[in-house]
Structure 1
Amino acid sequence: MTPAAVVPGALDGLVVLDLTRMLAGPYATMMLADQGAHVIKIEPPGGDLTRRNGPHPDGALKIGERGFGGYFASINRNKDSITLDLKKPAGKATLLRLVHKADVLVENYRAGVMERLGLGYEVLIAENPRLVYAALRGFGDPRSGASPYANWPAYDPVAQAMGGIMGITGAAPGGPPTKIGPGVGDLVPATFLAYGVAAACWRAQRSGQGQFVDVSMVDAVLALCERLVFQYSVSGVAPGPEGNGHPLLCPFGLFAAKDGFVSLGVPNDRFWVPLAHRMGRPALAIDPRYASNDARVQHRAEVEAIVGGWTARHTKAELAQMLGGDIPFGPVFSAADIFEDPHFRIREMLVETEQPGAARPLTVAGTPVRMSQTPGGVRRRAPLTGEHTDSTLAAFGFAPAEIAALRADQVIQ
């Protein structure tokens, strides 16, 4: 699919100053941009360091040419870019002028960085009382709870480890923990931050009062692991790696097929009966050892051996034909499978975007949030470094002479 037509999004008119970097912060502002917010990415001189991260399609502009790789392209689409040196007094003064007309500012520096720059929340909210200031840090901001780890740097694996999700993920029950493939330690906090920003903006529109929105990466991962909390609260036993099954349901998880793996879920007895018939074992539906979920959980090894033995005799396509539409089922897809499957094209989850300098477009993941009147989505590629500096400053009331002076002083590029 090509980028979505330019239709005003649900957040049309919302002005967001984006001081984020790496993955978590830019993903949060990307979510806002996908729904129509005017996100202005404020980059340091030389641009965001993640512009250097690949992969780089053949011919694509590299960082020395103010370009970007696939990493940056995916999570910075729909944004404008300006460069601004916040270490210089004129750079700080410029940001304050932007803040005066903005609705939201998002940053994901370590605690204290913005304060050392003289641009902390208290300074900016005094400049614009309706500003929603959003911060995403590894262990949160001391304003809403001073963690003993507040000064620790944190990235995805740290959040996965300390937030609990790694401890319940592993190939086999009782085995070593496993890191989840996608950066959920970044992406889940980003999603919570975008949600928090939207909620705070709703209040600010009605009350005229902004506020500080704080998301800890570790807290967000723990929130995702909600089952871990109540299980331990009730039993006093800390859950461990669960393999590819489910501690409370059976059969529920991954099973081998002739040509790969499939995911099969039987969350209640209603689905067990037709599964037993599809397997050619109707007696299993009334056998007291297997007829109820509680009984199947107690006889987990037997049930999984029966189901796994049956799935292993069939291909993924054959299993889809027998189970699809009647029993919760899905083949395990590779990226190649996803690109070939019609679902993702129909749902506009594979979007082609321009990659400056490259002979062919770059495909990025679309937005899963679809709205009937304000559809949102990927409308345009990620920006080149400082591509919108002059036009953005002019829109915020800077005179041509002021812009020229800032460039001469190397405050902007």
Structure 2
Amino acid sequence: MSALADLRVLDLTQVLAGPYCTMLLADMGADVVKVERPGGDLIRANPPYVDDAESEAYGGYFQSVNRGKRSLELDLRTDADREAFLSLVERADVVVENFKAGTMEKFGCGYETLKEHNPQLIYSSIRGFGDPRTGETDRQGQPSFDLIAQALGGVMEITGQEDGPPTKVGPGVGDIFTAALNAVGILAAIHHRERTDEGQYVDTAMYDCMVSLAERAVYQYSCDGESPTRQGNSHPTLFPYDAFEASDGYVVIAAFSDGHWATLCEAVDRPDLAADYPDAASRLANRDSLRAEIADWTRDHESVEILERLDGRVPAAPVQNTADIFADPHVHDRGMLADVSQPGADEPMTIAGSPIKMSETMPQPRGRAPLLDEHREELLGEETVDSGREVAESDD
């Protein structure tokens, strides 16, 4: 029995933020029904593919964040499909959508309407700037993507090299962090419903979530009135906490405690540095010269030698690429690489596993992503299928 095995989620989202949120729920056992627009999720066709784009049903982007879901293609602009959707709402626990504010109302499926059909419904939205129901602003209705959210939320301003331009964080944190927080909100709303029988609206905005992600910049500005900016891989208040070039790549070293600093100085045969800079304040005040001292040592050694010298006594690690991650036994032992079948390909596709680990109800990807409209009959039944097709044909 999975932790969320009794949960039915209607997922009207597409691309990344919404699908990642419902993917987390699906990995924990929820029955996630992906209600797709005519033609399906916009990123179904996005590469890469295992072998051949012509023969495979979808690319890696769609596979990764839609694994373990069921698919139903509906056009909410038509009466028949709208009625089919409302019938599903009556038996659902959660509805998740990431349209612009007001779009579901245009379909006649806004929160207030769905609440009439299911008073205990948890209705969740993911938008760039939130929903007026939880706080109205002049930005609502504007389009937003991960890049926009990272720029507005201050993440780009504090990411990158000191002498370089504002830099986007590699993974789409504007989408993924928002998605994770939305899943937390949904589960909190379910807990509230269990105590009160009361459904509610859950809303996470990408801009809001990036402000939350950059929380350190907020309190720094509050304390000293200066806007934090880029400083490479270093930390504003901890040293050493940085990346250092080795002879064959890069390593990171986090030796900011007095004990770790002393051990690092011993490992690099520089006990004088430990004696001259025994506390955090003295190290921060001389961080530039001390960084140069450590860097001079790391450049003359291979990554493996540096790590052996530190021998687990100082927090340190190599900077790995994805090939390194695939070769790391830890990643396999933790179930963080999962193979799922790829329709149209002879070989499976490897996707990231679930990072949430539980002793009794272990989350995991529950099979491949669905084909478009693959589960229509089991979700709606033959009668609904036939009536929906008749309406569609008459509309043509």
Question: Deviation at 1:285?
Answer: 1.3
Contact 1:355 1:362 in 2 (8 A): yes
Contact 1:250 1:303 in 2 (8 A): no
Amino acid aligned to 2:22: T
Q: Distance in 2 between matches of 1:350 and 1:197?
A: 26
Q: Distance in 1 between matches of 2:11 and 2:255?
A: 44
Contact 2:80 2:387 in 1 (8 A): no
Find the partner of 2:274 among 263, 269, 285: 285
Q: Which residue of 2 aligns with 1:28?
A: 21
Corresponding position: 1:227 with 2:223 = no
Q: Distance in 2 between matches of 1:381 and 1:321?
A: 40
Find the partner of 1:149 among 114, 139, 150: 139
Q: Which residue of 2 aligns with 1:40?
A: 33
Deviates more, 1:71-80 or 1:322-331: 322-331
Give unpaired runs (5+ residues) of structure 2. Answer: none
Question: Deviation at 1:324?
Answer: 4.2
Q: Which residue of 2 aligns with 1:215?
A: 204
Amino acid aligned to 1:71: Y
Amino acid aligned to 1:366: G
Q: Which residue of 2 aligns with 1:304?
A: 291
Moved over 2 A (4+): 59-62, 400-403, 407-411
Normalising by structure 2, we get a TM-score of 0.97
Q: Percent identity?
A: 47
DSSP-derived class of the 1:410 partner: helix
Question: Deviation at 1:408?
Answer: 2.9
Question: Deviation at 1:60?
Answer: 5.8
Matched residue pairs, number?
393
Q: Which residue of 2 aligns with 1:204?
A: 193
How do residues 218-297 of structure 1 correspond to structure 2 at under 5 angstroms?
Answer: 218-287=207-276, 290-297=277-284
How do residues 54-73 of structure 1 correspond to structure 2 at under 5 angstroms?
Answer: 54-59=47-52, 67-73=57-63
What whole-Å deviation, never above 9, does each CA across 1:102-147 have from its counterpart, x for those lacking one? 0000000011111111111111111111100000000100111112
Contact 1:78 1:382 in 2 (8 A): yes
Q: Distance in 2 between matches of 1:354 and 1:320?
A: 38
Q: Distance in 2 between matches of 1:45 and 1:324?
A: 57
Q: Distance in 2 between matches of 1:227 and 1:313?
A: 34
Contact 2:26 2:366 in 1 (8 A): no
DSSP-derived class of the 1:50 partner: coil
Q: Which residue of 2 aligns with 1:361?
A: 348
Q: Which residue of 2 aligns with 1:92?
A: 82
Q: Distance in 2 between matches of 1:61 and 1:147?
A: 44
Answer 1 or 2: higher relative contact order, Cα 8 Å, separation at least 6: 1
Q: Distance in 2 between matches of 1:30 and 1:61?
A: 26
DSSP-derived class of the 1:42 partner: strand
Amino acid aligned to 1:279: V
Amino acid aligned to 1:377: Q
Q: Which residue of 1 aligns with 2:392?
A: 410
Q: Which residue of 2 aligns with 1:19?
A: 12
Contact 2:159 2:168 in 1 (8 A): yes
Q: Distance in 2 between matches of 1:214 and 1:42?
A: 19
Find the partner of 2:171 among 165, 168, 182: 182
Contact 1:20 1:108 in 2 (8 A): yes
Question: Deviation at 1:282?
Answer: 1.3
Question: Deviation at 1:280?
Answer: 0.5
DSSP-derived class of the 2:104 partner: helix
How do residues 362-381 of structure 1 correspond to structure 2 at under 5 angstroms?
Answer: 362-381=349-368
Question: Deviation at 1:175?
Answer: 3.8
DSSP-derived class of the 1:54 partner: coil
Q: Which residue of 2 aligns with 1:397?
A: none
Q: Which residue of 1 aligns with 2:101?
A: 111
Give unpaired runs (5+ residues) of structure 1. Answer: 1-7, 395-399
What whole-Å deviation, never above 9, does each CA across 1:278-304 have from its counterpart, x for those lacking one? 0011121111xx211111111011110
Question: Deviation at 1:92?
Answer: 1.2
Q: Distance in 2 between matches of 1:193 and 1:267?
A: 34
Corresponding position: 1:138 with 2:125 = no
Amino acid aligned to 1:27: Y
Q: Distance in 2 between matches of 1:229 and 1:167?
A: 13
Q: Distance in 2 between matches of 1:193 and 1:382?
A: 21
Question: Deviation at 1:243?
Answer: 1.1
Q: Distance in 2 between matches of 1:308 and 1:90?
A: 67
Q: Distance in 2 between matches of 1:343 and 1:48?
A: 34
